């Protein structure tokens, strides 16, 4: 039976470390980390995320700046707000909650955020830095996943790592981070010929596609470390991941639950990135 990787506990310890470092930063330089979150429209899930981020900022002793804009906000108005926040010295991190309304081009918006304030690490400059392994920020979810893997004591070096999903937010950067730690990485997607065979070879399996219980026990190697990034609803409307937890947990050595696995880590790493941005601003 697999050992549970407790994302809540690990995230709490990261956030406490961030809080202590933020206190130190304020004491030594007078700089208080500031995170500006922009939400365009009233997507219910996005509203919850924004609320959680505000709460995490307060806990960490950060300044939190919220900009809730109506869904009909034009792209130009959004870009003007970002330009203002880029210049604001009390703001060290800028996060624009995705998805954006259809009339706004996400790429243009991401590229408008100053790379030194891009705490999501989505800006093309930051993506390039991750590629070459010389970065200031890492995307929050993949960075959180690496923390979860490290918590097991399993070394990535030399292991076969399979990432299911190739999104810019999780799949692709995840593959790079595993590669940086000398994993042998396979990335699977909707066009992969034999997904089950690719997964079965993995010592470390990361599922990030958003399909409920896609990864079944017969696709998992005995003793694998299984990280479930999915957040779905099953046929009974109950929260579940991309992994059939009940059956896979009988074969894996370590597994993340849903909820309580990867989710809490994402916000913890966002706090860490904002602290890093504030330190860079303070020239530390």
Query: pLDDT digits over 40-50, tens only?
Result: 998 888 888 89
Stretch 233-237: mean pLDDT: 88
Please check whether residues 109 and 179 belong to one and the same domain: no
At 212, which CATH number?
Answer: 3.40.50.720
pLDDT in tens, 251-268: 999 999 999 999 999 999
- Asked if residue 4 is part of any domain, the answer here is no
CA distance 284 to 279: 5
75 and 151, same domain (yes or no): no
Mean pLDDT of the chain: 97
Do 169 and 76 sit in the same domain of this protein?
no
Q: Could you tell me the residue range of the domain that residue 103 belongs to?
A: 30-114
Q: What is the per-residue pLDDT for 23?
A: 98
What burial letters (b/e) apply to 3-15, b meaning 16+ CB within 10 Å? eebbbeebbeebb
Residue 108 has pLDDT above 90, yes or no: yes
Give the confidence band of 235 by pLDDT, cuts at 50, 70, 90.
confident
Asked if the model's pLDDT at residue 182 lies above 90, the reply is: yes
- Report the number of distinct structural domains present in the chain: 2
Q: Which amino acids are annotated catalytic?
A: 53, 97, 120
- The domain that contains 102 carries what CATH number? 3.40.50.10860
Please indicate, yes or no, whether residues 237 and 163 belong to a single structural domain of this protein: yes
Same domain, 150 and 254: yes
Asked if residue 46 is part of any domain, the answer here is yes
Residue 174 confidence (pLDDT) above 90: yes
Of 96, 114, 132, the residue that ends a domain is 114
Q: So what's the pLDDT on residue 103?
A: 97
pTM for this prediction? 0.95
């Amino acid at each position: 039976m697999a050992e549970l990787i407790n994302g809540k506990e690990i995230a709490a310890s990261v956030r406490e470390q961030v809080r202590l470092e933020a206190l130190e930063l304020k004491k030594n330089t007078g700089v208080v980390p500031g995170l500006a979150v922009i939400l365009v429209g009233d997507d219910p899930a996005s509203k919850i995320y924004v609320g959680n981020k505000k709460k995490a900022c307060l806990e960490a002793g950060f300044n939190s700046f919220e900009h809730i804009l109506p869904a009909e906000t034009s792209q130009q108005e959004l870009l003007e707000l970002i330009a203002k926040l880029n210049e604001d010295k009390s703001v060290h991190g800028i996060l624009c909650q995705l998805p954006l309304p259809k009339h706004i081009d996400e790429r243009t918006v991401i590229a408008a955020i100053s790379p030194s304030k891009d705490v999501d690490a989505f800006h093309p400059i930051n993506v390039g830095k991750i590629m070459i392994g010389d970065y200031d920020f890492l995307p929050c979810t993949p960075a959180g996943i690496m923390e979860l893997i490290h918590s097991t004591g399993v070394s990535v070096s030399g292991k076969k790592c399979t990432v299911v999903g190739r999104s810019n937010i999780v799949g692709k950067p995840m593959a790079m981070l595993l590669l940086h730690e000398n994993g042998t990485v396979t990335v699977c997607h909707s066009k992969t010929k034999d997904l089950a065979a690719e997964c079965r070879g993995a010592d470390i399996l990361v599922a990030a596609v958003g399909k409920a219980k896609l990864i079944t026990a017969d696709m998992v190697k005995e003793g694998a470390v299984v990280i479930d990034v999915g957040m779905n609803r099953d046929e009974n409307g109950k929260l579940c991941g991309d992994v059939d937890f009940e059956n896979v947990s009988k074969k894996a050595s370590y597994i993340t639950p849903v909820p309580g696995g990867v989710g809490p880590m994402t916000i913890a790493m966002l706090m860490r990135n904002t602290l890093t941005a504030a330190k860079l601003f303070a020239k530390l």
